[in-house]
Structure 1
């Protein structure tokens, strides 16, 4: 039968800038058959300290007269000195507790085992396991590389002066979730050939609420300022989409896009929307009153053109009434 006590002792560490002392935990065994004792330190891997058995099994003297320790001298919460080193007993096992209580010894309450501060400082924190997300950018790239959704859209700017209803093509790249907007170029439309309206990039949909004084106009947009980005779910035929402050109406898409939405989202309604251009309103022409200069027909040509032409003559009337003169007799009334 063996009594087991958990203890520790404090060891000074000279000439060290990181630690002044070291706490070393040991186990004290007391053998009831011959009242012998031994002190063993549990081995800590890679500690670079001499560990294992500190005191071999024998009857350990407790004073200068050579009297050995007895199990009645051991208790929790006490210090014992062995060969010039003081050990602090903090606890014991269940068998030791039952044995001492059966012998009428009142045990002190257990104490907390001290830990070495330098060891705690050097101990690496345990890595917390984070469940990986199902979304994998590499898998997305390998699966959807070179697959692009194409939407046909218009931008109605007829409410502004000299505005037009202009056609665009919206490309959504499935490999990385980027969006590109290209203008449909028509020859001889009077515009410079700059087809790329929005370069290929991730477009923000919802921003983080910021103070109005935050200088967002001079900073680039990062993931910290954006709550939600545009995805394939935000594009649909027959709906309007606002990209960077400009609203595009999607009226059609290509066959690959129809198949993708049918397989991915179960959407089957891809009826193209007929785009009707608004008729230009005709400005009413107001003719100013006759000012008395020249004949009326000649002055009226100034209201129809910047380069007025002389009024057309009635040739048939001239031929029919040639050499015909109307003569009247009159009397002067004065």
Structure 2
């Protein structure tokens, strides 16, 4: 009789529990597995220590939900039963932002001119994460810190921890955020279309109320102060960033090493200051310090003094009159701090300013003689070719201190690689020893070079082999600086090719030569093609690749 250690009849009290001494497994079952890098959890089949799993029996509905089997009876087609691909919110709603226009009223304390101020804002709602930000448009010279009021975040709706959703927003409502009420007036087109597509009914848009302080600023207020022509505040507000620019010549040719230099004179209307800047020219040998005279007010007329001044600085009490815009006339020579400047032209804004404010001043540009550059018209002279190396390599020594290899036609080299036109030739010489010498002239289409190979002849006493390395051969009588080189159009059967004082007569050619020249017949003379067709005609016994003396030309490689 065996004792049942797993009996459940005894109460769970101290002394009534017994441990199974034969049990050796106490680990928990594994419920997490990885397949192709993805975690796949599954339900445990046994309990701790391989004991049977004691759990409540699942309902039929839960069993159906956990089952992955497709039901036998379906309604409709199979495609309709398949679920659509899941698209996360950060992908489906990426870069989709709702934009609402609103305003809030700011109370102004301790001011007799205004009680409140209307400040417009723009509310952005990001659909991908339900975050919002509030930005106030910048107004120039407003004196109020503007810009981003609330950075992008989820705004709290109430004290229960809820946040604002896009369903909570509508036109004509008050959005209370951190103690400030923003009244939404209208929205853009995209926001209106999105809200209507989701079934939201938007209220009618409302106009943004006018700020009473800004409206009062636009309406001129009556004042009882006599307007002054020297109102600096009015000059600052009306003439800020308005500058008159004159183009002038600084003439100091009477001094040592003097010359005439172009400068620009800028007159700032905001405070009646003048600045003179040099026009820096590249490679002029001068330091790039353009400011010739710093920005300052220039005195034009001083007050009479009974005794000389003991200081170099000039105060306003000593100056009777400063330079004004009407003192700068185009075409006149004026002195600024002892320097002579010839005003010869000005920009378009300066001309428009004088036509409006000083129509009696004539603004006629003056033609200034241009500075002659002694190196501009001087043409570079290339020394004559000395005969060493190729013409292109010798020219590179004249173009740069460290010569670079001449540029090659890479496209031509790739298209005509391994394409060679071969001709058989004999040496036209008065020496009787050269009568039996036979040569193969190869024209390389990739780089337009010519190589000559001498065929060995037994018992001739002359060693055959390479007669001429690959090089470009100029035609006789061509100029050394601009030579004309041989081309396939010049190689007709019976033609004479002069190669560095050696004369070669072409006697035969490959069939590939005729095929190539016929494919480019528009660039080849008809006499050259006729001579090759006559020599390489089909059906004649003497039309084999070789001359009258039995010379043969090797077939070109493909």
Counterpart for residue 266 of structure 2 = 28
1:71 aligns with 2:71: no
Q: Which residues in structure 2 correspond to 1:200-215 (within 5 Å)?
A: 200=469, 201-208=471-478
**Does structure 2 retain, via aligned residues, the 8 Å contact 1:77–1:111?**
yes
Rounded Cα–Cα distance in structure 2 between residues aligned with 1:161 and 1:52: 82
Aligned-residue offset at 1:249 = 4.0
Write the deviation string for residues 265-284 of structure 1: whole angstroms up to 9, x where unpaired: 6979543647557xxxxxxx
Counterpart for residue 149 of structure 1 = 421
Cα RMSD, aligned residues only: 4.7
Aligned-residue offset at 1:139 = 5.7
Counterpart for residue 82 of structure 1 = 336
Given candidates 239, 250, 273, the residue that maps to 1:37 is 273
Counterpart for residue 461 of structure 2 = 192
Write the deviation string for residues 38-79 of structure 1: whole angstroms up to 9, x where unpaired: 224267498535434834354x32122222223333311222
1:54 aligns with 2:293: yes
Aligned-residue offset at 1:230 = 1.5
1:7 aligns with 2:248: yes
Structure of higher RCO (CA pairs closer than 8 Å, 6+ residues apart)? 1
**Which 5+ residue runs of structure 2 have no aligned equivalent?**
1-238, 304-319, 379-406, 523-528, 550-558
**Does structure 2 retain, via aligned residues, the 8 Å contact 1:75–1:89?**
yes
Counterpart for residue 251 of structure 1 = 508
**Which 5+ residue runs of structure 1 have no aligned equivalent?**
126-134, 209-221, 278-334
Cα 1:141–1:74 change in 2 (3 A) is closer
Q: How many residues align?
A: 239
Counterpart for residue 442 of structure 2 = 172
Rounded Cα–Cα distance in structure 2 between residues aligned with 1:261 and 1:63: 89
Counterpart for residue 231 of structure 1 = 487
**Does structure 1 retain, via aligned residues, the 8 Å contact 2:428–2:503?**
no
**Does structure 2 retain, via aligned residues, the 8 Å contact 1:41–1:53?**
yes
Q: Which residues in structure 2 correspond to 1:211-222 (within 5 Å)?
A: none
Write the deviation string for residues 4-32 of structure 1: whole angstroms up to 9, x where unpaired: 332232458988xxx5346250223152x
Aligned-residue offset at 1:152 = 2.6
**Does structure 2 retain, via aligned residues, the 8 Å contact 1:155–1:249?**
no
Rounded Cα–Cα distance in structure 1 between residues aligned with 2:447 and 2:300: 77
Counterpart for residue 136 of structure 1 = 408
Counterpart for residue 364 of structure 2 = 109
Aligned-residue offset at 1:185 = 3.8
Rounded Cα–Cα distance in structure 2 between residues aligned with 1:203 and 1:73: 74
Aligned-residue offset at 1:242 = 0.4
Cα 1:176–1:13 change in 2 (3 A) is farther
Counterpart for residue 396 of structure 2 = none
Aligned-residue offset at 1:147 = 5.1
Rounded Cα–Cα distance in structure 2 between residues aligned with 1:91 and 1:161: 81
**Does structure 2 retain, via aligned residues, the 8 Å contact 1:252–1:273?**
no
Secondary structure of the corresponding residue to residue 204 of structure 1? coil
Rounded Cα–Cα distance in structure 1 between residues aligned with 2:507 and 2:442: 13
Aligned-residue offset at 1:192 = 1.7
1:92 aligns with 2:346: yes
Counterpart for residue 494 of structure 2 = 240
Write the deviation string for residues 75-103 of structure 1: whole angstroms up to 9, x where unpaired: 11222233333332222233433554564
TM-score, normalised relative to structure 1: 0.52
Cα 1:147–1:75 change in 2 (3 A) is same
TM-score, normalised relative to structure 2: 0.34
Rounded Cα–Cα distance in structure 2 between residues aligned with 1:249 and 1:122: 52
**Does structure 1 retain, via aligned residues, the 8 Å contact 2:252–2:340?**
no
Cα 1:204–1:196 change in 2 (3 A) is farther
